[in-house]
Amino acid sequence: MSNPKRFLSGIQPTNIPHIGNYFGAIKNWVKSQDEGALEAFYFIADLHAITVRQDPLKFKEQIMDCYSLLAAAGLDPDLEKTAIFAQSHVPEHSELAWLLGCFTQFGELSRMTQFKEKSEKSKEGEVNVGLFSYPVLQAADILLYQANYVPVGKDQKQHLELARNIAARFNQAYNDDVFTMPEPYITQNTAKIMSLSDPLKKMSKSDSNPNSCVFLLDDKDTVIKKFKRAVTDSEARVEYRENDETKAGVNNLMSIYGAVTEKSFSDIQKEFDGRGYGDFKTAVGETVFDIIKPIQEKYYTLRSDRTYIDTRMKKGADKAAKAARPTLCKAREKIGFLHYII
Ligand code: TRP
């Protein structure tokens, strides 16, 4: 039998995932994990996070928060085929990033839209080399595991494209398939969840309006309150109308309600026929909270168990390193580094 395909994704620890991350990505990862078809590597991108200065004490907590939340959402560190770990626990990421940096053009990195946007927004003296070479580290994350699939949103597409170019260049230089060509992983049937305050924009943790985004750890009152304040229209009709911008708010609430209840738009429309938006918004808030409540309960249990976190993270890092080492060795060998002969 051929080896199972490998799936890989990273998440920065600096913010708690929101319902858009959950329904748009994490829920699907759990599903493919449970189907057992893929070997999966999930890591907390703590090396990427230090392109911005982090408070050391807070940073440690955030890494553990993030880890516990992934586990609470259903990614199971005890499964053979799943590895969840912190990127900094596997130093192979940093080493491969250096090697790959020597196969990356200055011009390529200068053209990365995320770099251009972030560096334009930053103050003088805040644009460090880490921010510039961020995509090289990301390429290393991916290529190190010979990942076949990487889920990519629009903002990460260019980074995956770069990883592919670097892989092709390295393979060509040594005329060997050292790195597997990663493909974007397109998830079917996932809801694209938009901001509650500006439904033409994707829900984002960095949105300046605190009501725009529902975090997985928001308490019930906060969840309901955010949905109550969601932007809709003056029509007072729960009806899905694709591509109608005036309906974007209602469309978004219906998508969320549909993702949670697995009801079709026409069923939702019937259910709320003749009822105002108030009722509908409360219903969306309550059903969303019903889904995140068990995740929160599990989260608080895991999060308070430091031994659980430490042992599982160590196990995850060991599993990851075992998968990573052969690739790194091969790359070192191709480049021509000397072996010790003892
Ligand atoms: N840059 C990604 C983000 O901010 C996180 C990330 C780092 C990542 N390395 C990765 C995602 C490798 C996928 C694969 O969302």
pLDDT by residue (tens digit) across 167-202? 999 999 999 999 999 999 877 667 789 999 999 998
Lowest mean pLDDT among 34-43, 63-72, 181-190, 298-307: 181-190
Phi, psi of 42 (to 5 degrees): -120, 130
296-341 tens-digit pLDDT: 999 999 999 999 999 999 999 999 999 999 999 999 999 999 977 7
Please choose from 6, 7, 8, 11 the residue to mutate so as to test ligand 1's pocket, defined by most ligand atoms within 8 A of CB: 11
Mean pLDDT score across all residues of the chain: 94
Report whether pLDDT(135) > 80: yes
Closest C-alpha to ligand 1, atom 11: 10
What the block records as the tokens of 331 is 């790359």
> Is residue 32 very low, low, confident or very high in pLDDT (cuts 50, 70, 90)?
confident
Contact residues of ligand 1, CB 6 A cut-off: 8-10, 12, 45, 48, 138, 141-142, 150, 156
Report whether pLDDT(232) > 70: yes
Q: How high is the pLDDT of residue 189? A: 62
Q: How high is the pLDDT of residue 318? A: 98
Closest C-alpha to ligand 1, atom 14: 9
Please choose from 159, 179, 187 the residue to mutate so as to test ligand 1's pocket, defined by most ligand atoms within 8 A of CB: 159
> Is residue 2 very low, low, confident or very high in pLDDT (cuts 50, 70, 90)?
low
Atom of ligand 1 nearest to the CA of 147: 14
pTM confidence score: 0.91
Atom of ligand 1 nearest to the CA of 153: 15
Alpha helices in 145-195 (DSSP H): 157-174
Give me the active site residues, please.
Answer: 118, 202, 205
CA 305 – ligand 1 centroid, Å = 27
* pLDDT-above-90 percentage for the chain: 82
CA 295 – ligand 1 centroid, Å = 23
CA 246 – ligand 1 centroid, Å = 33
> Is residue 211 very low, low, confident or very high in pLDDT (cuts 50, 70, 90)?
very high
CA 8 – ligand 1 centroid, Å = 9
Residue tagged 């985004």 (tokens): 213
**Chain centroid to CA 328: how far?**
24
Please choose from 6, 8, 9 the residue to mutate so as to test ligand 1's pocket, defined by most ligand atoms within 8 A of CB: 9
CA 204 – ligand 1 centroid, Å = 15
Edge-to-edge strand ranges of the sheet holding 5-11: 82-86, 38-44, 5-11, 149-151, 183-185
Q: How high is the pLDDT of residue 34? A: 86
191 in Cβ contact with 24 (< 8 Å) = yes
Closest C-alpha to ligand 1, atom 15: 11
230 in Cβ contact with 196 (< 8 Å) = yes
* pLDDT-above-70 percentage for the chain: 98
Closest C-alpha to ligand 1, atom 9: 138
Report whether pLDDT(1) > 60: no
Residues 6+ apart with CB under 8 A from 150: 7, 8, 9, 142, 160, 163, 182, 183, 184, 185
Please, what is the angle between helix 306-335 and helix 277-303, to 10°? Answer: 80
Q: How high is the pLDDT of residue 342? A: 67
Report whether pLDDT(206) > 90: no
Atom of ligand 1 nearest to the CA of 151: 13
Q: How high is the pLDDT of residue 37? A: 82
Closest C-alpha to ligand 1, atom 8: 10
> Residue 186: is it exposed, middle or buried by C-beta count within 10 angstroms (0-12/13-18/19+)?
exposed
Atom of ligand 1 nearest to the CA of 45: 7
16 versus 118: the higher-pLDDT residue is 118
Q: How high is the pLDDT of residue 339? A: 79
